[in-house]
Amino acid sequence: MTGPRPPRSGLAAVRLWFAPERLREEGHTPDYRFSLANERTFLAWLRTAMALVGGGFAVDQFLTDTTRPLRLALSLVLLAGGALCALRAINHWIRCERAMRRGEDLPSSRFPVALALAVGVVALGMVLVVAFGWGV
């Protein structure tokens, strides 16, 4: 094992997405249960991303009584949220795995709050559209 490494630049961190075996060069191998829990969290983020993408397509296909610009806006927010969620899942998985290998605190993130607020705003918008016929 070598000494602590400086934080990786943005591009170097993204390279780890495609070569996660390079993580083994850092620190100590954590208890496999923690790595598996990290992987389950990653998969939960991916399920959330897929649900957002599906929701975006559903809004576009099923809220046909609304104006196209409103329907498109709601759909795009959900689709973009799904894409961001999938990318964030990869980044969070790598950051957590590195922190565990180095014996550091797990990284914190504001993304779950931002995602929850965005989904809540879109859901409220859809409730208003459906309940009151706004955007017709």
How far is the C-alpha of 40 from the C-alpha of 21, rounded, in Å?
A: 18
Could you tell me if residue 35 is inside a domain? yes
How far is the C-alpha of 34 from the C-alpha of 133, rounded, in Å?
A: 48
Could you tell me if residue 72 is inside a domain? yes
Counted domains in the chain: 1
At 75-98, the pLDDT tens digits run 998 999 999 999 999 999 999 999
At 16-61, the pLDDT tens digits run 778 877 888 888 999 999 999 999 999 999 999 999 999 999 989 9
DSSP for 92-110, written as a single string = HHHHHHHHHHHTPPPPP-S
Query: Which structural domain range is residue 89 located in?
Result: 31-132
Could you tell me if residue 65 is inside a domain? yes
Q: How confident is the model at residue 67 (pLDDT cuts 50, 70, 90)?
A: confident
Could you tell me if residue 4 is inside a domain? no
pTM: 0.79
